[in-house]
């Protein structure tokens, strides 16, 4: 394998494999958060919304781990001075960031497997629909990773990072209508939930799985918002990137 | 000859505060270069600039002919850095810590693993290689990080205050590691422990308020001071008339006289005769530091406001 691959694997080892080995309770924590809401929504809806809830759990997993990346980066940079050791090594900023982003996907694999098993059992959709759902999830993950990078440039303390993570996770995956269709929210209040990008992603996914009918125009708008926000945040994050400080 | 050359390195922060002010020097890039200075003197800023972590506001620096400002990518192949207050990541073991760091430097897994085993054997920590870093002592954690940079094969090593907060035994062990290291590497060490610089360094650089106050071997640094001896009078408030030299009063309240060999001989004879308790030593690096900087190494900036020393 090439040098770049070794550097990517190093990030995956540090921030995923070794983290899971060292503190396995994180795996349980990752799984419990979305599972608890699946249970809640399923029982309250008497089973009617189990499909939507499982789809929402997938959104939570990908968005949650993406946002968590900013806390991971801040923790390694500020508490362990680990990033300083890497800055002065042959690893480039891009390789480190891509490696860290990949590490957080690896970190959710155990939870992903459990939720995918539930999805196969309870969501009756075509394979093509599942593929499309994963494309949306991937885009949503990229958005949340970029958001994480962007926020990590503002934080210098891990306590502050954790508070950002908590607030954003709540706003984007618990309060936003990702575990149920937005049509359950009364109309005057519904517009407020469109402030969260996950609302657009949930609409796309729920539409693909047959839970939420949407016009072509509404669907196109959802895609434009998600892609547009991701690109805008990516540009800002690149500009504010502090690998070698000035 | 391999050299470290700094030309007018300046680093300014907001509000115009200069962390480094036109720092220029040239030293051989071999053995240990110890940069000493008080907290906030600019040691870490200089190290971070040379280690390609921080851009200077102006000026240039080359190490073994490589421009650290313009050619950071090339420089990073040559260096390994142990930052100030760095800690071994809690959720990893010593083996995982070294292995992953070596992979970041480009080694493949099996080579990195082999090197990590060797490095841990080298510091006598093989038995602890699978223990979580969170369960190691402060000294052991620091040794793991030092072993990581040693295993990297980088010929230039930067260590920023590596022994701060360590107990005397751990400190001594780390000094032994650095002594071994300097035989094969160029080590850039920052410290505010003058004893550390005196014991380890081949070249000493004194920085204060971002300015260079002196650089050279300990012998050359001694020449910055016209006195060779330091006499401490171990009786508080004792007034002594000296013919040549300078008298100061330390934080402990004892008078200290920096003077020439001839005057030291005269004073010590007199003190013996008068049964005055005193100690006499050649000027230490601490004495020299005080003489050059006009403040003790451990003086905090705030002390100026209250005039605690004089």
pLDDT of B303 > 50? The answer is no
pLDDT of A154 > 80? The answer is no
| Residue B63, pLDDT score | 92
pLDDT of B260 > 60? The answer is yes
Beta strand B31-36 pairing with B186-191: parallel
What is the average pLDDT across A28-51?
Answer: 91
Q: Does A246 touch chain B (CB under 8 A)?
A: yes
pLDDT of B310 > 60? The answer is no
Interval B122-132: pLDDT, tens: 888 999 999 99
Interval B16-27: pLDDT, tens: 788 999 999 999
What is the average pLDDT across B170-199?
Answer: 90
pLDDT of A175 > 80? The answer is yes
Q: Is B119 exposed, middle or buried (0-12, 13-18, 19+ CB in 10 A)?
A: buried
| Residue B298, pLDDT score | 62
Size of the A and B interface in Cβ pairs below 8 Å: 107
B296: left (phi over 0), alpha (psi -120 to 50) or beta: beta
Cβ contacts (< 8 Å) between B160 and chain A: which residues? none
How far B73 CA sits from the closest chain A CA (Å)? 7
pLDDT of A145 > 90? The answer is no
Task: Report CB contact under 8 Å: A85, B77.
Answer: no
| Residue B306, pLDDT score | 34
Q: Does A18 touch chain B (CB under 8 A)?
A: yes
Per the listing, tokens 């590497």 go with B185
- d(C-alpha B111, C-alpha B5), whole Å: 34
Residue A109 binned pLDDT confidence (cut-offs 50, 70, 90):
very high
Choosing among 3.40.50.300, 3.30.70.1290, 3.40.50.2000, 1.10.300.10, the CATH entry for B3-222 is: 3.40.50.300
| Residue B22, pLDDT score | 94
| Residue A143, pLDDT score | 87
What is the average pLDDT across B195-199?
Answer: 89
Per the listing, tokens 């502090």 go with A242
pLDDT of B171 > 50? The answer is yes
What is the average pLDDT across A128-153?
Answer: 85
| Residue B304, pLDDT score | 38
- Give chain B's contact residues with A (Cβ, < 8 Å): 48, 51-55, 72-73, 76-77, 79-93, 96, 99-101, 103-109, 112, 132, 134, 145, 148-149, 152, 158
The closest CB to that of A85, out of B83, B93, B106, belongs to B83
How far B205 CA sits from the closest chain A CA (Å)? 22
B25: left (phi over 0), alpha (psi -120 to 50) or beta: beta
| Residue B299, pLDDT score | 53
| Residue A60, pLDDT score | 92
pLDDT of A195 > 50? The answer is yes
| Residue B102, pLDDT score | 97
- What mean pLDDT value characterizes chain A? 89
Q: Does A86 touch chain B (CB under 8 A)?
A: yes
CA nearest A225: which of A150, A147, A151, A140? A140
Task: Report CB contact under 8 Å: A82, B90.
Answer: no
| Residue B305, pLDDT score | 36
Cβ(A146)–Cβ(A234) below 8 Å: yes
Q: Which of B86, B103, B110, B146 should we substitute to test contact with A (largest number of A Cβ atoms within 10 Å)?
A: B103
Interface ipTM: 0.86
Q: Does A65 touch chain B (CB under 8 A)?
A: no
Which residues are B208's β-sheet partners? B211
Cβ contacts (< 8 Å) between B54 and chain A: which residues? 244-246
pLDDT, greater one: B295 or B190: B190
| Residue B297, pLDDT score | 61
| Residue B293, pLDDT score | 79
| Residue B295, pLDDT score | 66
What is the average pLDDT across B178-197?
Answer: 90
Q: Which two tokens stand for residue B131?
A: 């223990």
Interval B219-252: pLDDT, tens: 888 888 888 888 988 888 777 888 888 888 766 7
Cβ contacts (< 8 Å) between B96 and chain A: which residues? 13-14, 18
Interval A83-95: pLDDT, tens: 889 999 999 988 9
- What mean pLDDT value characterizes chain B? 88
pLDDT of B309 > 50? The answer is no
| Residue A199, pLDDT score | 93
Domain boundaries, chain B: 3-222, 229-282
Q: What is the DSSP string of chain B?
A: --EEEEEEEEEE-GGG-EEEEEEEEEEESSEEEEEE--TTSSHHHHHHHHTTSB--SEEEEEETTEETTT-HHHHHHHEEEE-TT----TTS-HHHHHHHHHHHTT--HHHHHHHHHHHHHHTT-GGGTTS-GGGS-HHHHHHHHHHHHHHTT-SEEEEESTTTT--HHHHHHHHHHHHHHTTTSEEEEEES-HHHHHHH-SEEEEEETTEEEEEE-HHHHHTTSS--EEEEE-STT-----SSSEEEE-TTS-EEEEE-HHHHHHHHHHHHHHT--EEEEEPPHHHHHHHHHSS-TT--TTHHHHT---
Task: Report CB contact under 8 Å: A13, B96.
Answer: yes
| Residue B163, pLDDT score | 87
Residue A119 binned pLDDT confidence (cut-offs 50, 70, 90):
very high
| Residue B308, pLDDT score | 31
Interval B52-83: pLDDT, tens: 999 999 999 999 899 999 999 999 999 999 99
How far B219 CA sits from the closest chain A CA (Å)? 33
How far B1 CA sits from the closest chain A CA (Å)? 24
Interval B148-157: pLDDT, tens: 998 998 999 9
Task: Report CB contact under 8 Å: B55, A246.
Answer: yes
- d(C-alpha A171, C-alpha B25), whole Å: 55
Q: What percent of chain B has pLDDT over 70?
A: 94
């Amino acid at each position: 394998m090439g040098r770049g691959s070794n550097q990517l694997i190093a990030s995956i080892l540090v921030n995923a494999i070794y983290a899971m080995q060292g503190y396995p309770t994180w795996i349980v924590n990752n799984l419990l958060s979305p599972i608890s809401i699946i249970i809640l929504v399923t029982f309250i809806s008497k089973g009617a919304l189990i499909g939507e809830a499982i789809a929402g759990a997938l959104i939570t997993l990908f968005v949650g781990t993406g946002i968590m990346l900013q806390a991971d980066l801040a923790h390694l940079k500020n508490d362990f001075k680990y990033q300083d050791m890497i800055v002065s090594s042959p690893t480039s900023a891009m390789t480190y960031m891509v490696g860290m982003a990949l590490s957080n996907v690896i970190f959710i694999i155990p939870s992903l497997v459990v939720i995918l098993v539930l999805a196969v059992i309870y969501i009756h959709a075509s394979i093509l629909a599942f593929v499309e759902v994963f494309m949306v999830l991937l885009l949503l993950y990229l958005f949340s990773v970029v958001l994480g990078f962007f926020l990590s440039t503002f934080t210098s303390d891990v306590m502050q990072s954790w508070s950002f993570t908590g607030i954003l996770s709540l706003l984007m995956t618990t309060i936003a209508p990702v575990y149920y269709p937005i049509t359950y929210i009364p109309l005057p209040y519904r517009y407020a939930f469109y402030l969260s990008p996950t609302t657009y992603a949930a609409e796309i996914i729920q539409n693909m799985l047959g839970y939420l009918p949407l016009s072509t125009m509404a669907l196109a708008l959802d895609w434009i918002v998600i892609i547009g926000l991701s690109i805008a945040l990516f540009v800002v994050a690149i500009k504010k990137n502090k690998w070698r400080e000035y | 000859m391999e050299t470290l050359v700094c030309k007018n390195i300046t680093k300014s922060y907001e509000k115009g505060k200069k962390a480094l002010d036109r720092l220029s020097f040239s030293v051989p890039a071999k053995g240990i270069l110890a940069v000493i200075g008080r907290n906030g003197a600019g040691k870490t800023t200089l190290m971070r600039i040379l280690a390609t972590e921080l851009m200077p506001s102006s000026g240039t620096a080359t190490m073994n002919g490589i421009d650290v400002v313009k050619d950071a990518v090339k420089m990073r192949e040559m260096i390994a850095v142990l930052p100030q207050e760095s800690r071994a990541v809690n959720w990893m073991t010593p083996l995982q810590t070294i292995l992953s760091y070596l992979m970041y430097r480009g080694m493949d897994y099996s080579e990195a693993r082999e090197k990590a085993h060797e490095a841990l054997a080298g510091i006598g920590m093989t038995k602890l290689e699978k223990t979580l870093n969170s369960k190691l002592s402060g000294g052991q954690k620091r040794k793991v990080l030092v072993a990581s940079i040693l295993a990297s094969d980088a010929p230039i090593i930067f260590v920023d205050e590596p022994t701060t907060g360590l107990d005397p035994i751990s400190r001594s062990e780390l000094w032994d590691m650095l002594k071994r290291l300097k035989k094969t590497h160029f080590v850039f060490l920052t410290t505010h422990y003058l004893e550390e610089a005196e014991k380890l360094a081949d070249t000493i650089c004194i920085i204060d308020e971002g300015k260079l106050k002196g650089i050279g071997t300990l012998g050359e640094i001694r020449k910055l001071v016209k006195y060779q001896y330091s006499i401490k009078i171990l009786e508080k408030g004792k007034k002594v008339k000296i013919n040549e030299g300078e008298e100061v009063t330390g934080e402990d309240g004892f008078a200290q006289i920096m003077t020439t060999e001839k005057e030291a001989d005269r004073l010590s004879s007199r003190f013996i005769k008068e049964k005055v308790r005193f100690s006499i030593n050649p000027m230490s690096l601490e004495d020299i530091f005080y003489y050059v900087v006009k403040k003790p190494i451990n003086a905090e900036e705030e002390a100026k406001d209250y005039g605690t020393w004089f």
